[in-house]
Every structure is written in C-alpha cells, then in structure tokens.
Structure 1
C-alpha cells in the first residue's frame, strides 16, 4: 500500500528544466543551462541540489526520453574512473559527497568506451543509450538531482520530531516524519541519513492498536520486520545508517536525529482538474 509521488512533468524555471519523477521517495532531476567541466558540474550539483545523477536515482528510459526531447545528446553523469584502479569505474558516493565508492560498473553492457588517453570522467549519450568516458576538462551539459527529504541533526523524542516536521509545513508544502512504503527506497534512505549524528534516526513508524503504522496513516506492509508485541515503551520505529534491511523499535522517549519528508500541497480544485484531465 503506498502513495503516488508527483506526476511526471517538465517545466521551465529560472532557466533550468525540472522533471518530477514518480516515486515513493520523490526525486527530482535538474538540467542546468550551463556547460561545465565534470568537477565543476559536480560541485554545482552538490551546492544547489544533492549530487550528480547516478543510475540508481533515475529511470534511465524516462531520462533518455527527456534528454532527446530537449536536444541534450551528451551529458555528464555521476560516473568516474577509480583513482586507484584504472580499469574500474564507479558511481559517485552520495553518503559522504566525496570519493568514488559506489558499485563497480566496469563490466556493464551499457559502456561504449572512447579512445582518449586520460578520459576518466563518465558521460551519457542519449542517442546511443550508452555511458562514455570523456576528458574531465571538457565542458558539457550535466544532470543534478534532489529529493523531498530533510535530515534534521537535532536530538528529539519521537513526538517532538513529529511536531518539528509538521511545524515546517507552509502554504506550498506539507511536511511529516518520513514514511517509506517502498522497500526499494531503503538503501537510498540509508545513504541520505549518513550525515546524521546518531546511528539511528526516527522515522514515521509508530505502534498503535496492535499494528505498526506510518505517520501518514499507511500500515507497514512487512509487519514482520518489527516485533508484533513490542514492550510497553518501544513503540516507535527507527532506521539505521548501517543496516538497510530492517527497522528497529525503540523507546519513544529516547532522543535522536530524525528524517522528514515533504510533498507539494494540491488544492481540491487542482485535484479535480487532474482527475477530469
């Protein structure tokens, strides 16, 4: 059981093309109008968004369609040659914002290697649908991404964390403690909370009426991931920076960091227009 994310769309905003991708954890890809070297492009993405796009943050087919529609042929992506192993290529690591400790993609069929000596940065060709190595000092278009998550590095009880998230709600966006109803997002969330100052962070999980519920009123699909009869105080759920396979029940009065999520507020009129359209 889960919610739908934002509908797919393309809009022109401040000279950037913005594309909302449908997902449980909503991710947004950005095509800045500038052309930069690989290193400058990555610093730009980290400064204004989260990082450069990697293949676990986008739908490659949808991305290719958008690139072709907007006449983007070759773009920088978050792929780089391992500085210590010349034959190994890796995705960038969003955990630290530094280094290249992501999965080794050297043997992938998606590769179309060039012949340039010292071409240690990765790009994507939307026409061939292949990754290509290129000289890092070349200036070309690039792709960044962001999401709808906010990691708060303040220590609060579960109730205080819930109030903190909800008090961030404004006229445009509704905030809440994070509800993750898609198991495929677990690894991504684990990476995103890497900068938390506590090993575990509060999420929107709460034990009520004999069941585990998310704060957005969705039940946890895999109830067996948490005790079906937790002790009197351990009625709140956390997620670990180091364990991406399960949740943990904790005493709701403990104080730790937490993760919020937000979604755009849609009026009843807009909802009705969307349905009729």
Structure 2
C-alpha cells in the first residue's frame, strides 16, 4: 500500500502530473516515478508550466523534475525520459540559475528542482526533496497495421486510437512519433464518406486541426495519419496502407 499522499494537479487527455510529498534524492525520485508512474516530469512547453503555476500555488514545496546534467563543467542538460531533447528556448530558470551554488567553492549541482512558482533551480543531486512524476496516457505501437486493424488492436490491448484535441496534445504526440519505424502513424481520425466529414473515433469534435493541406472530401475508406518526420502534419491515407500507430491507454 502506498503510504505517501499524492496530489494529481494536472490531468489533461494525454498525460497527468503527480506531486509526491516524500523526500528523496534525484536518483531515488527517478526510480520511484519509473516504478509507479512513467518518469520524473518532462516540461516540454511553457503551457505546462503555466498550468502548474495556476494549480499548484501554495500546495507544494521545492520538488525534483526530470532535468539533469551528467558533466562536471560544460553544461549539457538532459531530460530523464529517453528520446526527449532538451530545448534551450523553452526553459524556466530562476534568475541567476543555473549557477552551481554561490561563493568561491564550486559545488556541482547537476539536478534541477522547481520552487513554488515553478522556477527551475539547479541543486545537489544528493539532497532530499519532494518530486514530480507523470503518467503517459499514450503509447506508440511499432507494428505495421491497416487503420482498422490498428483501431482493433488499440481497443483490445489499451483504450483507443489516439485523439488530438489541441496543440499541446499535438506536441506530445510529435515526441512519440519520432521513434516510429514508418513515415506516418495512424491516429484516431476517420472520414465518414456518406456524411462528408472527418471525426475522431472517441466521438470528440474535430475542433483542433493540423492538416498538411485540406483533406479530400470525396473518397471513401480514408483515415488520418501523422508525419513522423518534418512538421508532423496530418494527411489522409487509404485505410489499407500499413503504418505504426498511437494508442491511448485509458
């Protein structure tokens, strides 16, 4: 039984964040998150930070995130989650950070915490802090299937083919599809030929769109796929083509 209380303070469609109010070193926190959730949190856009600031104000102490540096000297930051690149243009360092501490004695501070305002601070990886885990609600299936077979697989083994309702969801999926073995991946977007409109298999309204060009509206047996390279745009593809695909877990 988990004896430590957890506050889930971000819950969107594709991933959720958890604040764990137990003191652990960065490595211990990483191990905990990987065993009980997915990993320490990866913050890949400022929208995540703004949402966390709005919800977590006054509710959390300084907490580890999944950002670390393996070197002693030239800074090269990495996210704990494999395959996600660190983007210098989307950082949220507190003024003066990262600084390896203060004073004449250099102490290598190779791990990162966030303060109550979600500003990033480098600190000693062996210090004890609360931490932030997240659960990933989507999974890339690196098997080649038709759209209908992909849909069946997702519904039999997970929940459904993925639905993308906003730009944040799109960015999250873009990171996933970079590891695909095909040029496109199926998503849960299908064309109703008799009604002449596109729809998500989850019954969500197609409000956010990311088409490479206006999709055809005069052909049957078409579904939506995302580019795994380039700009990760959506294209209509024949259902009979075979690609990797993205499932939602729940």
Q: What's the TM-score, normalizing by structure 1?
A: 0.70
Structure 2: distance between partners of 1:131 and 1:221: 31
Residue of structure 1 in register with 2:56 after alignment: 64
SS of equivalent to 1:137: coil
- 1:201 is matched with which residue: 182, 185, 192? 185
Q: Residue in 2 aligned with 1:9?
A: none
Contact 2:15/2:136 (8 A) holds in 1: yes
Does the C-alpha gap of structure 1 residues 82 and 246 become closer, same or farther in structure 2, counting only changes over 3 Å? farther
The 8 Å contact of residues 80 and 121 in structure 1, kept in 2 or not, is answered as yes
Q: Which residue of 2 aligns with 1:130?
A: 119
Query: Measured at CA, do residues 182 and 105 of structure 1 come closer, stay the same or move farther in structure 2, by a change above 3 Å?
Result: closer
Offset, 1:85: 6.9
Shift of the 60–166 alpha-carbon distance from structure 1 to 2, 3 Å rule, reads: same
Q: Superposed, which structure 2 residues align to 1:1-277 within 5 Å?
A: 15-19=4-8, 21-23=10-12, 25-32=13-20, 34-55=22-43, 56=45, 57=48, 59-62=51-54, 64-65=56-57, 68-69=58-59, 72-81=60-69, 83=71, 86=74, 88=75, 90=77, 92=79, 94=81, 96=83, 101-104=85-88, 108=92, 110-113=94-97, 114-115=101-102, 117-126=107-116, 129-168=118-157, 175-208=159-192, 209-217=195-203, 218-219=205-206, 221-222=208-209, 225-229=212-216, 232=219, 235-263=222-250
Q: Secondary structure of 2:125's partner?
A: coil
- CA 1:15–1:84: 2 relative to 1, 3 Å: closer
Aligned partners of 1:234 and 1:249 also within 8 Å: no
State whether residues 213 and 220 of structure 1, in contact with CA within 8 Å, keep that contact through their aligned partners in structure 2: no
Contact 1:111 1:132 (8 Å CA) reproduced: no
Alignment RMSD: 3.3
Q: 1:177 to 1:151 in 2, by over 3 A?
A: same
Q: Structure 1 108/227 Cα, relative in aligned 2: closer, same or farther at 3 Å?
A: closer
Cα shift readout 1:11-70 (whole Å, capped 9, x = no counterpart) = x965340415243x34222234543322332243334433222333452314533xx33x
Gaps of 5+ in 2: none
Shift in Å, 1:228: 3.3
Following superposition, the deviation at residue 160 of structure 1 comes to: 0.9
- Report the secondary structure of 2:24's partner residue: coil
Secondary structure at the residue paired with 2:121? strand
Structure 1: which 5+ residue stretches go unaligned? Answer: 1-11, 170-174, 264-277
